[in-house]
């Protein structure tokens, strides 16, 4: 059971915890807004839709915000207790530092478990909602990227211009000009209308555009020679209402790719990711085997028969190059050189394919492992933060913040470095996901040991006394050299 002292320590911890978490979450979200907001403002979306979409996209920052918050809060809590001599009073009363840290250790462990369930269940759902919401925006509000008075080619196969865009969702247009992209040998078509509107269709991959009071201009010149084209009369058709459907599936796909939320593995929990990884391994094995067989077959067509044909005689009679005539020798060398160059070109082309395959596999594995790894990071950061706070005995936002930032930068740099190495296939993705924890865990244990033994880790005088013999020796040596 928790005692009053335990509740007091927990209360002291959650004071800065709530404040720091709010500030850090706001900073991370503002960073996302700064990058993404320009794509949405002034393009027909309400502020509520923009905020909701950005929140869905930015909620994943909690996986980094929570460990950093625990690190800062731990340093500030134990630093404040030490600065106000409450830590010394507790120790004088016979309460060990281990017992003082115990309630917060259980609290942080609970937060770590909470982060795991949040990363495993909530974040994938929010990522899915972000994709669906952006898909609906791109499909139902195709005027999102349209600028009045300018020619744009957002619709594949057409160039359009709207003089004016109005309506709550930007669905009403005026001064419409639609031109079909075609070369000089294909039929030409242009449409001019006074007004029109976008309406949602049954299939969101197609844009339904209803135009009113306009003309269709056609030039049927395909498969006709120059003279026939000159005789071709200009054709125009007046219409009161014209309904057109445009294929915008590529537009929607590109819009989703720009938001970097097309990776379906981000919508899966830990168990589902296991199945994805197993399937991906099987696919990679087949792909790599195919690439290897292709190289072997291009190198020597007879190699594939070596294991099948059992004969004491060689399958191919080898010819010594010295016995070949000079002209034939040059032909053989040229043929060999050409084959080598072709293999080199094929190799360069396959490298990108192999790299993309490795990168995707590494991303899936690291995303899965980090669901666990970031939860364990919370506990490591608590050990580091609580130990540093009890050693430096400084509260507030001064030295504790500096120490926490240094630790977090070390963690983040290691995390980013091994991630890039894993994406290039130079590092095992499982090890890469856990390496920051592997590096910082011994440091956290060492700091905890130093704090439990009341070691003066940051005492400058201690380090001066340690190096004093060496400094004295060098000083005497220099003084002696003066008289030589």
Are residues 316 and 443 both part of a single domain?
Answer: no
Are residues 14 and 113 both part of a single domain?
Answer: yes
Give the side-chain half-sphere CA count within 13 A for 430.
2
**Domain end position, chosen among 365, 393, 409:** 365
Contact 419/478 with Cβ under 8 angstroms? Answer: no
Are residues 55 and 165 both part of a single domain?
Answer: no
Are residues 10 and 131 both part of a single domain?
Answer: yes
Q: For the chain, what is the domain count?
A: 3
> Where do the H-state alpha helices sit in 84-225?
86-92, 97-117, 123-140
Contact 193/213 with Cβ under 8 angstroms? Answer: yes
**Torsion sign (Cα): 200, 203, 204, 205:** negative
**Domain end position, chosen among 180, 212, 247:** 247
CB atoms within 10 A of CB 396: 12
Distance CA(339)–CA(335), nearest Å, equals: 6
Is 423 domain-assigned?
no
What is the pLDDT, as a whole number, of residue 261?
53
**Domain end position, chosen among 324, 348, 365:** 365
Are residues 298 and 394 both part of a single domain?
Answer: no
Q: Give 178's strand partners.
A: 160, 191
Distance CA(178)–CA(163), nearest Å, equals: 12
Which of 129, 14, 123 is closest to 375 using CA atoms? 123
Kindly report the length of the chain.
Answer: 484
Is 399 domain-assigned?
yes
Contact 57/371 with Cβ under 8 angstroms? Answer: no
Contact 166/287 with Cβ under 8 angstroms? Answer: no
Six-digit token string for 355: 């790299």
Contact 210/172 with Cβ under 8 angstroms? Answer: no
Residues 6+ apart with CB under 8 A from 391: 447, 450, 451, 455, 456, 457, 458
Are residues 214 and 235 both part of a single domain?
Answer: yes
Phi, then psi, of 470 in degrees rounded to 5: -65, -40
Six-digit token string for 158: 């057409």
Are residues 234 and 357 both part of a single domain?
Answer: no
What is the pLDDT, as a whole number, of residue 244?
80
Is 200 domain-assigned?
yes
Residue 458 gets which letter from DSSP? Answer: T
Are residues 8 and 134 both part of a single domain?
Answer: yes
Residues 6+ apart with CB under 8 A from 242: 191, 193, 210, 211, 212, 214, 216
Give the side-chain half-sphere CA count within 13 A for 95.
14
Residue-number span of the structural domain to which 351 is assigned: 267-365
Is 341 domain-assigned?
yes
Is 394 domain-assigned?
yes
Residues 6+ apart with CB under 8 A from 377: 67, 411, 436, 437, 440
Is 66 domain-assigned?
yes
Burial of 399 (0-12, 13-18, 19+ CB in 10 A): middle
Are residues 167 and 106 both part of a single domain?
Answer: no
Contact 53/109 with Cβ under 8 angstroms? Answer: no
What is the pLDDT, as a whole number, of residue 1?
46
Are residues 393 and 348 both part of a single domain?
Answer: no
Is 424 domain-assigned?
no
Six-digit token string for 325: 């005539």
Are residues 132 and 159 both part of a single domain?
Answer: no
Contact 179/218 with Cβ under 8 angstroms? Answer: no
Residues 6+ apart with CB under 8 A from 234: 217, 219
Is 431 domain-assigned?
no
Residues 6+ apart with CB under 8 A from 181: 153, 157, 158, 159
Six-digit token string for 480: 């002696």
Distance CA(248)–CA(230), nearest Å, equals: 35
Are residues 125 and 10 both part of a single domain?
Answer: yes
Distance CA(150)–CA(145), nearest Å, equals: 11
Contact 442/450 with Cβ under 8 angstroms? Answer: no
Q: Give 179's strand partners.
A: 159, 190
Six-digit token string for 63: 């996986």
What is the pLDDT, as a whole number, of residue 375?
92
Residues 6+ apart with CB under 8 A from 91: 97
Distance CA(359)–CA(305), nearest Å, equals: 34
pLDDT 10s digit of each residue in the chain, 484 long? Answer: 457 888 888 888 888 899 989 988 888 887 777 766 655 655 556 677 777 777 887 788 898 899 999 998 988 888 888 888 888 888 888 888 888 888 899 999 999 999 999 999 888 888 888 777 766 665 555 544 567 777 777 676 778 888 888 776 667 888 888 888 776 667 778 888 888 887 766 666 677 788 898 888 877 767 666 666 666 666 778 888 888 877 766 666 655 555 455 557 788 888 888 888 888 888 877 776 766 666 666 665 544 444 444 555 554 555 565 666 666 666 667 777 777 777 777 677 667 777 778 888 888 888 889 999 999 999 999 999 888 888 887 766 667 778 788 888 999 899 989 988 888 878 888 999 999 999 999 999 988 888 888 776 655 555 566 666 766 666 655 555 554 5
Six-digit token string for 443: 């440091």
């Amino acid at each position: 059971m928790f005692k009053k002292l335990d509740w007091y320590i927990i209360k002291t911890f959650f004071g800065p915890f709530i404040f720091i978490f709010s500030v850090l979450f706001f900073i991370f979200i503002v960073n996302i807004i700064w990058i993404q907001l320009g794509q949405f403002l002034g393009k027909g979306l309400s502020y509520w839709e923009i905020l909701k979409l950005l929140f869905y996209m930015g909620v994943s920052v909690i996986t980094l915000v929570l460990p950093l918050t625990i690190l800062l809060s731990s340093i500030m809590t134990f630093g404040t207790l030490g600065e106000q001599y409450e830590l010394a009073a507790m120790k004088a009363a016979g309460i060990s530092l281990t017992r003082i840290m115990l309630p917060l250790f259980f609290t942080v462990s609970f937060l770590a478990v909470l982060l795991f369930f949040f990363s495993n269940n909530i974040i994938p759902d929010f990522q899915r909602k972000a994709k669906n919401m952006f898909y609906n925006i791109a499909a139902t509000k195709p005027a999102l990227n349209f600028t009045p008075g300018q020619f744009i080619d957002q619709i594949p196969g057409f160039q359009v211009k709207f003089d004016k865009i109005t309506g709550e969702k930007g669905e009403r247009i005026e001064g419409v000009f639609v031109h079909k992209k075609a070369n000089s040998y294909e039929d030409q078509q242009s449409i001019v209308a006074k007004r029109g509107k976008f309406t949602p269709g049954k299939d969101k991959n197609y844009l339904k555009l209803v135009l009113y009071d306009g003309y269709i201009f056609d030039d049927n010149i395909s498969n006709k020679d120059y003279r026939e084209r000159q005789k071709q009369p200009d054709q125009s058709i007046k219409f009161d209402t014209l309904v057109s459907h445009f294929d915008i599936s590529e537009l929607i796909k590109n819009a989703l790719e720009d938001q970097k939320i097309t990776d379906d593995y981000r919508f899966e929990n830990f168990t589902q990711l296991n199945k994805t990884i197993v399937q991906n391994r099987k696919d990679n094995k087949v792909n790599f085997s195919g690439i290897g067989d292709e190289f072997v077959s291009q190198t020597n067509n007879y190699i594939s028969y070596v294991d099948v044909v059992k004969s004491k005689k060689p399958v191919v009679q080898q010819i010594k190059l010295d016995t070949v005539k000079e002209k034939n020798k040059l032909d053989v060398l040229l043929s060999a050189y050409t084959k080598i160059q072709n293999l080199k070109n094929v190799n360069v082309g396959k490298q990108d394919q192999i790299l993309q395959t490795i990168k995707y596999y590494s991303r899936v594995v690291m995303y899965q492992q980090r669901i666990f790894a970031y939860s364990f990071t919370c506990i490591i950061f608590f050990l580091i933060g609580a130990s540093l706070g009890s050693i430096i005995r400084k509260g507030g936002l001064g030295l504790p913040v500096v120490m926490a930032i240094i630790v977090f930068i070390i963690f983040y740099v290691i995390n980013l470095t091994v991630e890039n190495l894993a994406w290039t296939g130079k590092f095992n993705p499982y090890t890469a996901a856990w390496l920051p924890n592997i590096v910082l865990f011994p440091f956290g244990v060492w700091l905890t040991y130093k704090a439990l033994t009341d070691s003066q880790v940051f005492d400058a005088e201690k380090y001066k006394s340690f190096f004093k013999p060496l400094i004295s020796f060098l000083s005497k040596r220099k003084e002696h050299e003066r008289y030589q």
